[in-house]
Structure 1
Amino acid sequence: MDATKLWTKDFWVVSLTNFFLYFIHYLLIACITVFTAEKFHASASMSGLAAGIFIIGMLFGRLYSGKSIERIGRKKMLYFGIVFSLIAVLLYFAVTSLPLLLLIRFLHGIGFGIASTATGTIVANVIPNERRGEGTGYYALSTTIASAIGPFLGIYINQHYGFQMNFVICAVLIVMSLLISVWISVPKETINQAQLNPTKSFKLSSFFEPKALPISIVSIFIGLAYSSILSFLNTYAQQIHLVDVASLFFIVYAIATLVSRPFTGRLFDKKGENVVVYPALIILAIGFLVISQVHHGYTLLISAVLVGVGYGSFIPSAQAIAVKAAPRDRMGLATSTFFMFADFGAGFGPFIIGFLIPVLGFKNLYIAMAIVVLADIAIYYLLQGRKKRKVIAL
């Protein structure tokens, strides 16, 4: 078999498994606040908590799986995460109170964090090292497509068939994810006892991969900035009377990502990470500036293209940087470290931004997010972009 072959059976299967996991996540998060408000007459803050507590559970899941995946086994960890998620999804049908819903959302987040860390670790092992950027970029498309289709389908089902049907769809998808994951063949890694011993301790290095921390820190601020689009774009669109066009934003975003991803992935492998990351962050900052000045529908869609190219190029590149920096026996920790930091920014960003909107207004908010991204370029240079950099010691 060609050692540089990318589109193997295992690459396809793990990408499809990951797609189903993220599809469920995005389908539910798009309409769980509406469900909470309608069923339990919850306030906006409590509805937001029902969405956000999933992220907190996800962080716990990533902490556990990143520390334990090499000791337990990558495929066993994937099975455990999917079965845990399946139980949580089935529990949605038994929701009778808001506290119970919050508990189930938290548990679902744990299962999702475990399973998605396992898929990210497995695919890192499947991708040939010389095609790391390209392969990670294609794999990340499974998340991108899920983020575009999931919310659209969730809202459509909720409007036409009722929210219970969303739970039915999620149950079917998680079962499909479990069934196809059986076909994944995980390459065996020779990991000795000396390499496994650190994962049994409670030092910070048992939960985080130090070599992945620089790019992970950069990702916090990108996740925070992007959360301003995920959480508040529709509210902004209502204010500027572009709700119909805003519904197409993430579709255009996904198309832009699909078109640019093959090019940026190959560029990453041939020319290096900086050739992709610096332009991606600049384009993303321009996208935020365009959003802040939107007056017409076509301008909003132009911003979707810019955000799709910028954010859609940065995240898989950053993930590839994190994995490449780590030893092979700590790929799981590197994957979980990167996603924990990115999820932290995206998960807690709406809470922070919620305080800024009354002070800044939406237009100034998106200008501020552009400034955050530009400032992050300097942070990237200091922590990662320079050829000679110090690894953060834990």
Structure 2
Amino acid sequence: MPADVPGPPDPPAPGGEVPSSSPPPPHRLWTTGFVLMWAGQFLISMNFYLLMTVMALYAMERFGTDEALAGVATSAFIVGAVLARLLTGKYMELLGRRRVLHAALVLLALCAAAYLLDTGFRGLLVVRVLNGVGFGMATTVLPAAVQALIPAHRRGEGTGYFMLSTTLAAALGPLAGLSLSTAVGYGPLFVVCTAIALLGLAVGAVTRLPELSLSPEQRAGLRSFSVGQFVEVRALPVSALMLFVGVGYSAVLSFLNPFAVQAGLVGPAGAYFVAYAVTVLVSRPFAGRLQDRRGDNAVLHPALLLFVVALLLLAAADSPFLVLASGTVLGVGYGAVLSAAQAAAVRSAPLTRVGLSTSTYFLCMDLGVALGPVLMGTLVPALGYRGMYVAAAAVVALGLVYYAAVPGARSRRGRA
């Protein structure tokens, strides 16, 4: 069965998905389990965005660090997340998804509370790494487990709806983080983060995750230390696209505020991610249905092109209209790529490898987001922010060429 052609549901077999309760009807998507996992993913993502947007400034104001060390406080989180993803995709099937999720949620709650303590800058770095570990574990388990609750013929649509949890958090989190830190200070902000983490722990306690029933041969394979037990090779062609996409998105995430200050567009920049989120909420369900009916290429080709356009609009932005237009186009482009590429990666391997497929996808995404600020930041002194956004558009365009030549070409052959 080609990767972009929706196939029939997998029949029950040894080594297949064994839900902890009766499986949902074949056409039903919004089950109790789906809603609880959606809520858990939203709460975890809210804490991520609440903290990510204020952490560099917090490090500078609280510990008197320079910009470089403040950046380390932000990127330390990504280091923990990448390490966790490498291991979680493999060991969550051996240890049990529910057990791994509970451990991750406890760790996230402890880390949120630890921000309230006077740990010093080095202690902050330790907390950031551990926070990243918990985040990487939880956001590998939940997107992998939810695939068992999505009917096979609605894979793109269901994945798109699930990823709206992250999109909504991406719109609300930065705004709430900056507003709380400015209005009431960092202490109350960290109290809010702790409360959200505890609520996430409570949601996780009542969520029943579908578990894998592994054969002795599969368990033996997962206990080995070959590359194939840490990365799903069949998901790599699609997942590698996210290296390009992550670099492009990190240019927006990391440099929008300083660009807006320099260009005198601070007000419109504040509404940028709101415009992005509204567009995603409207467009993503349609993109998911299109992917299920017409295949991965029907969504990913135009979505990547629109992502390029969004970055070029930002490079040319000299008015509030162009800033908001960029955010709107970004929602249709990057927003569709995020869920469509994940659905394609999951569909490229058997459901018994869905955990590794998911971790491989997010690992590539994390690496792109981690490398992007370094690569794009080195261009700013020479090209300025506008030139840097043109370069970011070129990187995403390269990703489109790569996808058309490798996984996209494979999809076309499969449909022929």
Q: Which TM-score bucket, shorter chain as reference?
A: over 0.9
CA distance in 2, matches of 1:389, 1:105: 43
Of 381-390 and 325-334, more deviation after overlay is shown by 381-390
Q: 1:209 aligns with which of 213, 232, 235?
A: 232
Aligned twin of 1:186: 209
Length, aligned pairs only:
390
Of 306-315 and 80-89, more deviation after overlay is shown by 80-89
The two structures, once aligned, show a CA RMSD in angstroms of: 1.3
1:284 touches 1:306 (CA, 8 Å); kept in 2? Answer: yes
- In the TM superposition, what is the alpha-carbon distance from 1:382 to its structure 2 partner? 2.2
Give identity over the alignment, percent: 37
* Paired residue type of 1:119: L
Question: Mapping of 1:43-122 within 5 angstroms?
Answer: 43-122=66-145
Q: 2:257 aligns with which of 214, 220, 234?
A: 234
Is 1:29 aligned to 2:52, yes or no? yes
- In the TM superposition, what is the alpha-carbon distance from 1:316 to its structure 2 partner? 0.5
* Paired residue type of 2:389: Y
CA separation of 1:95 and 1:347: change in aligned 2, threshold 3 A:
farther
Aligned twin of 2:7: none
Q: 1:378 aligns with which of 394, 401, 408?
A: 401
What are the superposed Cα offsets for residues 248-299 of structure 1, whole Å, 9 maximum, x if unpaired?
0000000011010111010010111000000000111011111111111011
CA separation of 1:381 and 1:157: change in aligned 2, threshold 3 A:
same
CA distance in 2, matches of 1:7, 1:96: 43
- The DSSP-based 3-state class of the residue aligned with 2:318 is coil
1:356 touches 1:365 (CA, 8 Å); kept in 2? Answer: yes
Q: TM-score, normalised by structure 1?
A: 0.97
Aligned twin of 1:221: 244
CA distance in 2, matches of 1:216, 1:388: 14
- In the TM superposition, what is the alpha-carbon distance from 1:28 to its structure 2 partner? 0.3
Aligned twin of 1:4: 27
Q: What runs of 5+ residues in structure 2 fail to find an aligned partner?
A: 1-23
What are the superposed Cα offsets for residues 171-211 of structure 1, whole Å, 9 maximum, x if unpaired?
11111111112222223433212112222111111110011
Question: Mapping of 1:322-337 within 5 angstroms?
Answer: 322-337=345-360
CA distance in 1, matches of 2:398, 2:212: 39
- The DSSP-based 3-state class of the residue aligned with 1:93 is coil
Aligned twin of 1:284: 307
- In the TM superposition, what is the alpha-carbon distance from 1:121 to its structure 2 partner? 1.1
- In the TM superposition, what is the alpha-carbon distance from 1:326 to its structure 2 partner? 1.4
Aligned twin of 2:366: 343
CA separation of 1:357 and 1:267: change in aligned 2, threshold 3 A:
same
* Paired residue type of 1:224: V
CA distance in 2, matches of 1:274, 1:15: 26
Question: Mapping of 1:131-280 within 5 angstroms?
Answer: 131-280=154-303
- In the TM superposition, what is the alpha-carbon distance from 1:70 to its structure 2 partner? 0.7
- In the TM superposition, what is the alpha-carbon distance from 1:388 to its structure 2 partner? 6.3
Aligned twin of 1:307: 330
- In the TM superposition, what is the alpha-carbon distance from 1:64 to its structure 2 partner? 1.5
What are the superposed Cα offsets for residues 43-77 of structure 1, whole Å, 9 maximum, x if unpaired?
00111110111001000111111110111111111
Q: Which runs of 4+ in 1 moved over 4 A?
A: none
1:36 touches 1:42 (CA, 8 Å); kept in 2? Answer: yes
Aligned twin of 1:294: 317
